[in-house]
Chains A and B, each alone.
Chain A
Amino acid sequence: MSIRRKLLLALLGALLATGIAASGATWFAVRKEANDLFDYHLEQMALSLGDQPLAAPVDFLPPLGQDYAIQVWDASGMLAYYSRNGAPLPLRSAGFDTVSVGGEDWRVFTLQSPDRTIQVAAPVTLRSGRAAAMALRILVPILASIPLYGLLIWLIVGEGLRPLTVIAGAIRRRDPGTLQPLPQAGLPEEVAPMVSELNALLGRLREALERQKRFTADAAHELRSPLTALQVQLDMMARARSPEESRAALDALRSGMKRAGRLVEQMLTMARLEPRRELAPRACVQLEQIASEVVGGLEPLAEARRIELRLERLEPSAVQGDAQALHALVRNLLDNAIRYTPAGGVVRLSAFAEQGEALVIVEDSGPGIPAAERARVFDRFYRLPGSSAEGSGLGLAIVRQVADAHGAQVALDDGADGKGLRVTVRFKSST
């Protein structure tokens, strides 16, 4: 049911009830007053008759019509006079009384003097009719005004609710792609908080959608490079004129395939991390444990590239976080180090706690990252100029994203003797 209809019915109902109560009260009050007044009349009339000598019938009395009846009884109890046609009223003791005669109620005043009894009476309907007329006179205008009030209420409530209609219209006309905030100017204070909350939600949605769109566009764009490489290598294979050429093309094709696969895998990792709020509930995670798991997984790669993997310092270091995301962080750091370090190099991994911080440090003997590039390497799909083709450009972006979600800092420095790269991730320790 609409607010408008509900208000209309409630207000009109209240108005009607008030009207009925007022006219009811009036009816009661008027009837009582009329009763008192009529009784007074009856009494006065009886008293004035008592003063009259009653030898003869009371001709002097004015014609009373059907509104009043007068009866006079003599001392012997005979009805000496009565003014009314029809059955006489029964004799009553002195004072006021109501009697029923021939189906009609009469109000009777009986005055007793030593020689006679005088009764003056009037029909009850007369007086209650007056009271009803008075009450009606109050009720009628109220009833008559109900349609007017209804219209007024309808209009006023409608006007009051107009901001809601305006907002509904603004939402209806909305292009689902834009998610622009709703207009907030001139809103009544009851509606403003709702709209501002809605706008905040729209803002968050817009950001999320924007991020997602950018990511999809970037991803589609980035996938083109490995696809192009695959296409070119495939063409080369088709053109091969000797087994050697064919074998070389096949090798190139295979590494191109591996590269495309790795890019897709990294994109998936990134996409899973993307809505930061949805990281798994925080649990206590042992970084040193994750580090040794990651090392276990990457040892074959390191071996294939003749890179020495050294676990330098593995000590209990606990943080609050998402184990899977932290795993991705350490794996990407180590994977990068292994891939960018020339054969025969060394990659060192440490995880330990120190002064209220938990640290993960990966250090390699590779070419390092020039200071000028260090800010940009965290950008998605950014690759260092001249770096090998197989990097996805997402590794450090993933590292940064996980670190951000955990409130951790990532620092890039030169390696120990000014060569290579050292990546330090600092978490707030939870122990």
Chain B
Amino acid sequence: MRLLLVEDDVMIGAGVRAGLRQDGYVVDWVQDGTAAELALKTEPAYALVLLDLGLPGKDGFALLESLRRRGNRVPVLVITARDAVADRVRGLDLGADDYLVKPFELDELAARIRALVRRNAGRAQAVIEFGGFRVDPSTHKVSYLGREISVSGREFSLLQALLDRPGQTLSRAQLEERLYGWGEEVASNCIEVHIHNLRRKLGDRAIRTVRGVGYVIDEAEAPCRSVASSS
């Protein structure tokens, strides 16, 4: 899952990026409003934006405003040192989805990110259950047809991307966008490799190839229901 981190403080930015990478997120980090604007215009695949308000160049409020004016509905989590109620209200009114005041703990940040992503996908439950899968974003545990599966970080991200909008087919390019940040070397067949590895662990039917389009996870058939009721 790919995030955009907008933070001008080098120490905070580096720390947050490292922490979120550990959680399996792909993090693009920019240090000023103008770069953030550019990133949001050119990279459509962000699952969420972490926005610091006190930015050089374009101020965080202005960035948020122009983002929403363009109709971009990506979830925005504001992280800021401004804790005045007026600032919070203004931030939320301008279209921020959540507000986290500095200093914060990485775990709380991660939890809020998960909650926002979940809410954005229209789910109330933290755990995703679809097509025989049971995926817990907070613990990175995956089970398929009642069997616990161990997956790598990328494989988890790939599953998460496919389950984010259940039943939606994603192209290879879309998956690459979601799985890899800037400056990351992407081999031309890497998505195929991950799919291949996943199928080896899950069986061929777990992820279906749609010829000429991409990949999709289908809604589970009868055995899955029986699994769901027995668990």
Contacts and interface: CB of A to CB of B under 8 A. Distances in A.
B56 A385 contact: yes
B22, B56, B103: most-surrounded residue (chain A CB, <10 A): B103
Contacts of A350: none
B81 A231 contact: no
Interface string B3-34: 00000111110111011001000000001100
B14, B31, B57, B101: most-surrounded residue (chain A CB, <10 A): B14
A231 B103 contact: yes
A231 B32 contact: no
A232 B12 contact: yes
A229 B31 contact: no
A230 interface: yes
Given A229-B12, A255-B11, A389-B11, A236 B103 contact: no
A385 B8 contact: yes
B15 A236 contact: yes
A256 interface: yes
A229 B18 CA distance: 12
B31 A232 contact: no
A252 B12 CA distance: 10
Interface in A369-384: 383-384
B182 interface: no
A224 B102 CA distance: 6
A228 B31 contact: no
Contacts of B18: 236
B12 A236 contact: no
A256 B15 CA distance: 11
B221 interface: no
Contacts of A385: 8, 31-32, 56-57
A259 B106 CA distance: 20
Given A225-B81, A385-B8, A231 B104 contact: yes
Contact of B31 (A221, A239, A259, A386): A386
A237 to B, nearest CB: 10
B103 A256 contact: no
A227 B103 contact: yes
Contact of B10 (A221, A224, A384, A388): A388
A235 interface: yes
Contact of B102 (A227, A384, A386): A227
B8 A229 contact: no
Contacts of B31: 385-386
A26 interface: no
B57 A235 contact: no
B185 interface: no
A230 B14 CA distance: 12
A224, A259, A386: most-surrounded residue (chain B CB, <10 A): A224
A233 interface: yes
Nearest to A248: B18
Contacts of B81: 221-222, 224-225, 228
A259 B32 contact: no
B219 interface: no
Nearest to A382: B56
B1 to A, nearest CB: 18
Interface in A285-302: none
A386 B9 CA distance: 8
A383 B56 CA distance: 9
Interface string A387-407: 011000000000000000000
A264 B10 CA distance: 19
B103 A233 contact: no
Contacts of B204: none
Contacts of B19: 232, 235-236, 239
A395 to B, nearest CB: 17
Given A231-B105, A232-B15, 10 more contacts: A221-B82, A224-B101, A227-B102, A235-B15, A235-B105, A236-B19, A383-B56, A389-B9, A389-B10, A389-B12
Interface of B: 8-12, 14-16, 18-19, 22, 31-32, 56-57, 81-82, 101-107
11 contacts: A224-B81, A232-B16, A233-B15, A235-B106, A235-B107, A252-B15, A385-B31, A386-B8, A389-B9, A389-B10, A389-B11
Interface of A: 221-222, 224-233, 235-236, 239, 252, 255-256, 259, 383-386, 388-389
